[in-house]
Amino acid sequence: MAGVTMGLITMRCAAQYGQDVWLWEAALHITSSVRKQVYGHVQLLGLSYFEGAGDTAAGDTAYRLTAEADQMGAMVFAFLQRLIPSALQLVAMLAKMLVLSPFLSGATLAVAPLMSLLIARLGDRVRRLSRSSQDQVAELSAHVNEILPAMLVVKAHAAEGYELARFADLADAHRTGRMAFQRQQALFSPAITLVYAATVVSLFAAGTKAIAHGRFSGEKMVAFVASLVLLIEPIQAVGSAYNEIKQGQPAVERVFEILDTPPEASHATGPSSESDSIPVGDIVFDSVSFCYRDRPVLRDVSFRIREGETVALVGPSGSGKTTLVKLLLRLYEPDTGSIRIGNRPIKDIPLRTWRRHLGFVPQDSVLFSGTVAENIAYGVAANAIDLRRVERAARRAHADEFVRGLSGGYAAVIGERGSTLSGGQKQRLAVARAIYHEPTCLILDEATSALDNESEVLVRDALQTLMAEKTVIVIAHKLETVQSADRILFMEQGRIVEEGAHLELLERGGRYASFYKTQQTDDRPVESLPPKR
Ligand SMILES: Nc1ncnc2c1ncn2[C@@H]1O[C@H](COP(=O)(O)OP(=O)(O)OP(=O)(O)O)[C@@H](O)[C@H]1O
């Protein structure tokens, strides 16, 4: 008997181990595939999602994809490992009790609706409170994600205390919310036990009465009560697994909310073919207007940029230059009017194909942690990087020399966001990255930040060479760039108010001329100068 008992226990333990491993594998598989699917969807979302405020902040999305996706896995595990077996056990025990005494079983089952109502009510409140607590953690995560990368500014303003106070407010709000949730959850088990105990005590009373009147045997009563006592474990387990699922439900909702956000219009029809013909020809804006929410930013903008031309967008800050470029990159769609490439509406060119033919250098040169080569050949898998092409792009961007000076050269690892490089070096790498894929059109948002003279000359030289080869659209903040452009589009309050070459516009003596004159008596970049009133 001892041997058989040990054998059975060993089998049970082995089965338990196998079950847990298998179920975790299933739960983690589900988590991982949902996580990948949701991240894939995040990649297709429009820029407005990322530029939106509040719950779409990067930190919040990161929290949904990490901690909350994990919580979803734990919930799946609780469902498979505890809820299903306990529910089955409950059904089996009830069947056994029905066989022993239909009458007493009926009396026991009479409390089932009350128990179900209790569990449902408590579960609902747990879900609601868990959701608000989850929102608060996400807010905390978004806040930390915003502040930590900006520690330079925090420290430079000696704002550590201020930041601590802001964080403490959020942390306290979360503690209060979480406490309300935990209080509700703590109620779960005692409430179920209380209803259950009341049932057992009433049955005892009814059972002893039935025995006294000879309607029921003592042995049967003992067997029935024993079954009843055995019910407590599965009831508790069903209750707590249900509770855990309700607790995890908001995490699932929050993760799936991302999937409910519609992707960029042009991605909605599915991925584009890589082999689509290279778009060539003039870039034409025809009466394009655009609003950010209700705020008009571009008004009836029309122009043509000929193939190979270098056009400078100049104008006061906030006049809509970057927005115009965002429309060309199709990060936003015009509200009215149309954009054509050659004679083809831009909407007819698959988004991926179109963007592959553009090289974009943003004002803040964003680099990623990884090697220099990976940054230049961004978007290409590490094992598919063409090093000769990387070097050629770096040479044209005047970055080759400093890269060779780094320990490791092109294999040198640069810190997160390129924190180990100078501003000028980052900019030259950003230019190299923009030209790695040999774009047909280069779009530059010229940096206004004061690069040291040497870096500025190098960056400008690099750009001059490229301007001679490609269609270049540059948001120009510096006079040198403005003068070397074939044509200038001068913008004010979302409109192109003047258009022409530098000298031509000076002769005309209009808006641009006064803008330029103020610049000559002042060293500030063009864009920061006020327009003539
Ligand atoms: N994502 C956005 N959501 C709402 N409004 C925005 C957004 N981006 C820009 N704006 C607003 O649109 C207007 C035009 O901004 P834009 O960045 O195009 O100007 P800009 O001419 O490039 O300015 P700068 O030279 O200072 O970069 C500004 O008033 C700005 O506040």
What digits encode the pLDDT tens for the residues 234-281? 887 888 888 888 888 888 998 999 999 888 765 544 445 555 566 678
Residues catalogued as catalytic: 446
Read off the tokens for 408: 């490791």
Higher pLDDT, 350 or 108: 350
Domain coordinates in residue numbering, the chain: 2-260, 272-357+440-533, 366-438
CATH topology for 366-438 is Rossmann fold (3.40.50)
Ligand 1 nearest-atom number relative to CA 293 = 4
Taking only Cα atoms into account, the Rg of the chain, rounded to an integer number of angstroms, comes to 34
Q: Ligand 1: which residues within 6 Å by Cβ? A: 51, 292, 297, 315, 317-323, 527
Q: Does 522 score more than 90 pLDDT?
A: no
Read off the tokens for 401: 């020399």
**Predicted pLDDT of residue 217:** 81
Q: Does 199 score more than 60 pLDDT?
A: yes
Distance in Å, CA 324 to ligand 1 centroid: 10
Higher pLDDT, 2 or 46: 2
Neighbours of 92 (CB within 10 A): 11
Q: Three-class SS of residue 447? A: coil
Residue whose Cα lies nearest atom 13 of ligand 1: it is: 318
Ligand 1 nearest-atom number relative to CA 313 = 21
Please indicate whether the domains covering 272-357+440-533 and 366-438 agree at the CATH topology level: yes
Secondary structure of 25-38 as H, E, C letters: HHHHHHHHHHHHHH
Find out whether 268 and 350 touch, Cβ atoms under 8 Å.
no
Beta strand pairing status for 487-492 and 310-314?
parallel
Overall pTM > 0.90: no
Higher pLDDT, 176 or 198: 176
DSSP state letter for 528: G
Instruction: Say which CATH superfamily domain 272-357+440-533 falls into.
Output: P-loop containing nucleotide triphosphate hydrolases (3.40.50.300)
Residue owning tokens 């000028």: 424
Of 109, 84, 119, the closest CA to residue 234 belongs to: 84
CATH topology for 2-260 is ABC transporter transmembrane region fold (1.20.1560)
Burial of 430 from C-beta contacts in 10 A (0-12 / 13-18 / 19+): buried
97, 356, 439 from 275: Cα distances, Å: 70, 11, 15
- Per residue in 44-74, pLDDT tens? 888 888 876 554 567 888 888 988 888 888 8
Beta strand pairing status for 495-500 and 471-475?
unpaired
Of 395, 392, 396, 390, the closest CA to residue 372 belongs to: 390
Of 475, 486, 487, 485, the closest CA to residue 526 belongs to: 475
Find out whether 370 and 414 touch, Cβ atoms under 8 Å.
yes
